Every structure is written in C-alpha cells, then in structure tokens.
C-alpha cells in the first residue's frame, strides 16, 4: 500500500528541547515537503527537497532543520530556536517537484510544546 507515513501522530515536548518528526514515503517520489498548518493560516512551507542530499528553505524555515539522506525519508527537526513550535505538521511528496505536480500528503503530526 503506497503512501506517506508520519510518526508519531501526537508529540509532546518541553520547551527548550529539540524534537524530530518522521516522514517516510514509498511512492518513489523525488520531491518532499514540510508544511506547518495553523488555524486560519492554511499551509505554510517550511522546507522542501527535490533530490537526495539537497533541500531549500521555504517561507518559515527559521528554527527548523531537515536532512535528505535517502529518497524515501525527509525528517524535520524542530529546534529550541523555533519561537512558536506548537502546530500541526504535514509532510508531502510529489513525483519530481515540478510546478504541475500534485502533492500527496501524510496524516500529519500534532506537536505540542509546553
């Protein structure tokens, strides 16, 4: 069954701790994306990667970091520098990352930092 998996579904952390969100896809897609979804603000792009070992910052990259060592995996680290990390995080992938490509989304991880 092809798709995108994100784990865990819910994550709780104390302020000042880094936390890594997992994203794995078995769709053989080249491009992967991380979005943050906040009520009333839609989806905002954090980072994206169009090929292994390469990634670009999105609109709100500050306080986040990513890696793309394998085609199927694109983990996101929320660092202690992120001022407002509590949010719903969505991972997506697309075939080649072209402008006409549909993006396929995972189920999301809800992160709560207290």
Partner 1 sequence: AQSVSQHNHHVILSEAASLELGCNYSYGGTVNLFWYVQYPGQHLQLLLKYFSGDPLVKGIKGFEAEFIKSKFSFNLRKPSVQWSDTAEYFCAVNGDNNDMRFGAGTRLTVKP
Measured between alpha carbons, how far is 66 from 3 in angstroms, rounded to an integer?
20
Residue with smaller CB distance to partner 1, 1 or 15: 1
Residue with smaller CB distance to partner 1, 35 or 64: 35
* Residue numbers 12-31 binding partner 1 by CB under 8 A: none
Q: Give me the least distance between CB of 102 and partner 1, in Å please.
A: 5
Measured between alpha carbons, how far is 11 from 34 in angstroms, rounded to an integer?
16
Measured between alpha carbons, how far is 79 from 16 in angstroms, rounded to an integer?
8
Cα dist from 45 to 13, 38, 114, whole Å: 22, 12, 23
41 binds partner 1 (CB under 8 A): yes
109 binds partner 1 (CB under 8 A): no
Q: Give me the least distance between CB of 96 and partner 1, in Å please.
A: 10
45 binds partner 1 (CB under 8 A): yes
43 binds partner 1 (CB under 8 A): yes
Task: Fill in the DSSP letter of residue 103.
Answer: P
66 binds partner 1 (CB under 8 A): no
Cα dist from 61 to 2, 26, 85, 106, 108, whole Å: 28, 25, 12, 20, 18
Interacting residue ranges for partner 1, rule: CB under 8 A: 4, 33, 35, 40-45, 90, 92, 97-100, 102-103, 105-108
């Amino acid at each position: 069954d092809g798709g995108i998996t994100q784990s865990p579904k819910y994550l709780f952390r104390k302020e000042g701790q880094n936390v890594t969100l997992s994203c794995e896809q078995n769709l053989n897609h080249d491009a992967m994306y991380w979005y943050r979804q906040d009520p009333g603000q839609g989806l905002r792009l954090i980072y994206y990667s169009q090929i292994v070992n390469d990634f670009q910052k999105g609109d709100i990259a500050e306080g986040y970091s990513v890696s793309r060592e394998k085609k199927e995996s694109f983990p996101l680290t929320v660092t202690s520098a992120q001022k407002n990390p509590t949010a719903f995080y969505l991972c997506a992938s697309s075939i080649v990352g072209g402008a006409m490509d549909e993006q396929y989304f995972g189920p999301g991880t809800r992160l709560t930092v207290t």
